[in-house]
Every structure is written in C-alpha cells, then in structure tokens.
Chains A and B, each alone.
Chain A
C-alpha cells in the first residue's frame, strides 16, 4: 500500500511539473500584449515598453522558463503581474471559496444520489421511472441557468439567502453556510443526476446477485441488506463517478462563481487567463492539478476501503 501511495504521489508531482511547463510555454504564444493590458489604454507606448522590460518579457523564453521553474520548485509562485499580490495569497483566499462550494455540492450530491438511487433501485415502478426521468432532465439543464434562477428566485425575490459573496467559516459558520448554499445547490444539480443514475444501475446489478438472495433467505431485513451489503458493493462505481464529478465541478465552478460574485479559483483563473496574468494562471494550474491528483488518490483509497478485493490486489 505504501509503495502504491509513493508511486502515485511521484507520478502526480511529475504530472504537475509537466502540465505547468506546458502551460508556461503556451502562455507565451497567446500573442497578447500583457504589458499594454497592465498599463491600460491611456498609458504611453514608452510606459508599456518599460513595463514589459520590468516583467522580463524582453528576455528569451528559455531563460525565463528556467528562472520560473527554479523559483517555483523552491516554493515561490511569484506575484500577480496585475495587482502585485503574491500568488500564494490569491490562492489562499480563493481556494476556501471554491473548495467550500465544491465539497458542499459533492456532499449534497452524494446524499441525494444515495437516497434517490437506492430507493429507485429497490422500489422500482413509478418511483424509479420518475427518478430516471428527473435525472435526465436535471442533467440536461445547464448549470449557469440553475444558478441564475436560484439567485433570482431564492435570493433576490424571496430574500432567503444572499445573492452574492462568500463569508469565511472562521468569521461566521452560519453565514458561511448561507453563502455557499445556493452556489453548492446550483453546482450539485447535474452531478447529482449522473451519480443517482450510476448508483441506481449498480444497485440493480448487485440486487440480482446470489448472495443477496442468500441473505434474504436467512431472514435479514430489506433495510439491512440494502444499506449494509448492497450499497457497499454498489458504491465503488459511484465513488469513481463522484471523483470524476469533482474534476468536472471545478470547471462548473467558474460559471457559478461568476453568477454569485464569488472570487474563487474559477473566477481567478478566468480573469487571469483573459488578462494574461501568467504567474496567477500558473499558480492556479499547479494547485488544480495537485488537487486532481489528491482526489484521484483518495478515490483509489476509498475504492479499496469499500471493496477488500481491490486492497488484496
């Protein structure tokens, strides 16, 4: 197990370096005039040239790349070209926002899909059909539309929850929960549909297996069979879907953060990419690849916990 973990971690670090290096090189071929974007439209051409020299953009790509690689490997992600704030501070401020709404969405998605998926598989009939139809419908509605409707109806018209903004957990737990509720629900919408259908399918497969019949013949209650035995065996594929959903939710968070005025990693990445703020883009890429690596690792470990056969292998 330890060897497996170390191997996966080393592969993950290599992946981070490769992806970040590729991003660095690609950023240099976008053709945008970053120095002009920084100094603004009213600045003189001389000011733009001076800014380009200050950022080292007049140096050869190779020299800049190795400088960047050296400082990054030493743990310094540099400062934003646009606001001079250290990239680590920007990420430190943005990560809690994005992770809060993503984990909120994942927990919501896992809870709802376990309940609906299990009930649909066990009860079958009209309930199963309703769940399936609703899931297909929910999956087909774009996340931004859900976010816009939630913001307009629940926040603006009803005034139940805030329309925008994020409150850090340490400032107020209740306000934090209120601030992430709508974005998490908007984000969870599509993910829940996919996970529900996946869980329903795998539970139906497991329910047909011989050992379930044996358990029934031994007089175990349906509830115990479903929650103790069937769900555990049907869960691994759903966990895989959830871990993939996590990666998808990072993308979905970009739109949801915009609608709810949240300065999370998604909106930081978007604005940095549009402006050409290379240090911030690279910082976001490094952190997101690291998160994906860690999530996949956790999914593998969860898979092993849920299915002892995997552990043995």
Chain B
C-alpha cells in the first residue's frame, strides 16, 4: 500500500512537472503587446548610480527606468526626447536645452531644469564609463524650469550622442544620494518582487509615462547571463526573446528558428601599435615599418577563418556608420608580404626585428596563431609573454608592450578619437603625439556640419597613411531574437535599444 502511494505521488509530481513543462519556457518568453519582453545581458549591472554606470551591453539595464535627454535616429542624428530642442552657441562650448514640461519621475517629483542640472553634474563627477563621456561639462545653469544651459570646458563633438545614451539619462534628484533603488521617469519601474540583485531585474510599465506607444510591453525582464551557451539555450527553449550570442552559436540559433542580426558597435580589432615613439622597439618609430606591418596581414583570411566571417576587413579605425569613414582607404594596404619585406629593408630592417607581445591564446587562439605566423613571414619575430588575461589591459596601459592585439573604438568618431588618437587618449599609453593630428583635432572640435565631416575624413586619411595601427576588421557582434519580437539593430548602441523592440504581431 505504502509503495503504491509513493508511486502515485511520483507519477503525479512527474505529470505536474511535465504539464508545466509545456508552458514554462514558452509562456515566459511569449512576447506580445501587453506581455513580457524577456532579455538577457552578458555583463552584470555595476550600479544603479548613473555616475558609476558602464556602457556597452550594460546600457540595457538602465533603459527601462531612466529616460535620456535625447534619442538618436538610425544615422546617429540626435532627436527629441526629454529635451525638445537643443542649440549650440558659436564657440560650441554652450549648449542650451529646452525640456518637456509634462514629465514626472515615478516618485512624483517633476522632471525640470534643476533635476537635469543635478544629474549632469552628478554623473560627470563619477568614475564610470558614462561619466568619462561628459567630462568636458564644466557647469550647468538653470535659466527657467524648462531651460538648461550646459557649459563645456572644450568643444565636444560627441556630446549630443552621449546625451542620447546613459550619460544623458536623468534620475530623480532624491535618488542621487541613495541609488540602491533606481528612480527615473522612464517607461518602466523596477519591480522588487521579480528582481534578484545580480541575477534578474524585473520591470513593470510606468503608468504615467508620456510616450507609451514606443514601449508596447507591459513587463520587461532582464537576466544577467554571462555564459553564451546558456543564453543560446534560453533563446532556443523560448525563455528569452533577445540576447547577444557568440559567433559559434549562429548556426544552432538559425536552425532553431531564431532571427540572427549582426551589430557593428564601431569596434575595430587588429594589431595596435602602442610604441609609435620607438621607446621599446625603435623600428616602430619609422612610418615605413608601421606600413610594412599593415601589408603583412591577410585580414580577409583572418576574418574568414579565425572569426568565422563575423567581421569586415578594414585598414581604418572608423566604421561605415562614422562620419570619418572613407571607403577607398580600405584599399590602402592590400595583403602583400613582399612589399612589407621591401619596406622593412628600406627602413633598415632587412633582417626584421624582435618584439615581445602579450599572449592572448587563452581567448583568441586562432587570431594569435595567424598574427604570429603572418608577422613571422615578413621577418618580425614575436616572443609571446604569458600573462593572466586580467593583466592584459593593465600591462598595456602601463606601457609594457610595444604592440599587441587589441580591439576598441566607437561608432561616433570623436569617441573613437578620445580612445585611440589624442595625446591623452585612454589607449595611447606612450602619449604619442603628432602635431598635424593635434591641429586637425583642434579644428574638428570647433567646426560643424560638412566642414567637420571633411576634417574627420582628412584625419582618417592621414592616420591610415601614417599607419597609426594595423587594423584587421570591424567587429560584428551577433544578436539573436525569437519569432515573438521584431527588433531593429541600431549602429550607435551596442545592444538594440529598448524602443527598437516590438511584438511580432504589431
């Protein structure tokens, strides 16, 4: 009798579990108007404090709760959002923003010029990636409740695009001193009942949001999922509606009926030449040597084999969405080992030279193999320095290596310049300066419109001629989404912004 009871119990439990099985995945992922949008992000949320906020994949955490001053269209042109108009003065150091007057934070506080002032000054004083983009803000003045004047210490061409992302997001002033719980004026509010810090963040629609039509989902759930296999499985089983996946999962995702899009967030990878002064490797101070390094790489093969086609071969730091992009420049350094050797010989390095580079085989074995082999083919002898990967970036910043594999950049050309080109650029560890480049940067920062675009292109052309680095390709990230949603990629956001998600039925 007892055995029969146990058996009956086990059968009931199994039936109950399998009954839920049919709906568990699909129900949670069944995105429809008024339903739940389930997303996953590979990066964990650092802080709800916008002053400490990260960019890239982490942007998606902030979008439900915080609204930004501006939005961007598909070409990166600023469009109205919390700010209805914006205007620079002639010196490009004073930006006047007119604000909507009908917006309130979810705690009831009105969103006005004082709130914008408090936020911009708070964020720019922080230590996060978002803060770094608006460091040039020197002061913010309130003219009236709907007008705010932003003063800049130096003209910053990327500012409007930054204000359309995390740096321009506005939190309730009351929450700035205690940002444990995010309070904004965005389309959703954080739902404590479905949130587990570090794991899953649930959001419910903000009933008072002023532009509900752009956000048709009643709930948004964002999970932190660092493992690409787990993200793919969750997408395939219907638990998620959208997430970034790794290139090796593209075929499985397509076979499982997922929509697969590529995103080009403006990141360029290749051989970065840090020591253009020639402090560690004197040869690198000679432009002919740097040009030889560009001719040494068969970028098309690297992309095809090591990157499974997920990249676009290039020779420049600026991508096709950038104002600085010059398509013809990609023809400058066609793979030509013989020409590379000739240039090295002309520079006095007929027997090549030795260089120490950080070992990246733990993450990119195929790319490292290709890089070392192709450099070796033209006489550049690479000695690999085996370091833990978490020491990779600090070692480069400390000026330990003359050159290395690297990837960085941004769709906005000014952001890319601040990362790679200017004397104080984060990734210019030897603070290399070229006077012609410095002059061009000065002229770019004080120009606008077509004049500025022409100067950007001039700078790009000069950088390629000078072989600033030896880029291989523009990185393409992969974003997979379920059939339940329509999602449009945006070149100026690393992951598609929330307002680009719609139910498939809409």
Contacts and interface: CB of A to CB of B under 8 A. Distances in A.
Nearest 6 pairs of A and B residues by beta carbon: A261-B230, A33-B394, A263-B199, A163-B237, A32-B390, A163-B233
A164 B227 CA distance: 11
10 contacts: A32-B391, A33-B391, A41-B129, A42-B55, A44-B426, A45-B397, A45-B426, A159-B22, A162-B24, A259-B227
A30 interface: yes
Interface in B44-82: 44-47, 49, 52, 54-55
A267 B226 contact: yes
A260 B256 CA distance: 18
Contact of B388 (A32, A39, A50): A32
B46 A83 contact: yes
Given A54-B127, A174-B20, A162 B239 contact: yes
Nearest to B14: A160
Interface in A108-154: 148, 151-152
A258 B230 contact: yes
Given A40-B55, A41-B426, A42-B129, A30 B390 contact: yes
A260 B390 contact: no
What interface size band does chain B fall in? Answer: 35 or more
A71 interface: no
A89 interface: yes
Nearest to B389: A274
Interface stretch (A175-183, A204-212, A214-222, A225-233): A175-183
Contact of B132 (A44, A94, A159, A177): A44
Interface in B404-419: 408, 415, 419
Contacts of B197: 83, 85, 89-90, 93
A93 B394 contact: no
A32 B234 contact: no
Contacts of A28: none
A151 B233 contact: yes
Contacts of A31: 388, 391, 394
A41 B418 CA distance: 12
B354 to A, nearest CB: 24
A184 B44 CA distance: 25
B408 A41 contact: yes
B363 to A, nearest CB: 12
Contact of B393 (A41, A50, A162, A275): A41
Label chain B's interface by main secondary structure: mixed
A47 B256 CA distance: 44
Given A42-B55, A260-B230, A162 B16 contact: no
B128 interface: yes
B372 to A, nearest CB: 24
B225 interface: yes
Contacts of B44: 82-83, 271
A39 B128 contact: yes
B233 to A, nearest CB: 4
Nearest to A166: B199
B132 A43 contact: yes
Contact of B127 (A39, A85, A261): A39
A39 to B, nearest CB: 5
Nearest to A93: B196
B54 A40 contact: yes
Contacts of A84: 46-47, 49, 52, 180
A51 B129 CA distance: 12
Interface string A184-198: 000000000000000
Nearest to B54: A40
Contacts of B234: 163-165, 261
A268 interface: yes
Interface residues of A, number: 55
Contacts of B46: 38, 82-84
A295 interface: no
B17 interface: yes
B278 interface: no
B206 interface: no
A258 B238 CA distance: 18
Contact of B25 (A32, A94, A162, A166): A162
Contacts of A174: 16-17, 20
A183 to B, nearest CB: 11
B375 interface: no
Contacts of A271: 44, 226
A8 interface: no
A148 B426 CA distance: 40
B65 to A, nearest CB: 16
A150 to B, nearest CB: 10
Contacts of B18: 160
Contacts of A260: 230
A271 B224 CA distance: 12
B100 interface: no
B227 A175 contact: no
B229 interface: yes
A69 interface: no
A263 B135 CA distance: 35
B403 to A, nearest CB: 17
A263 B229 CA distance: 15
B182 to A, nearest CB: 13
A283 interface: no
Contacts of B45: 83
Given A41-B393, A83-B45, A175 B20 contact: yes
Contacts of A42: 55, 129, 132-133, 408, 415, 419, 426
B341 interface: no
A240 interface: no
A72 interface: no
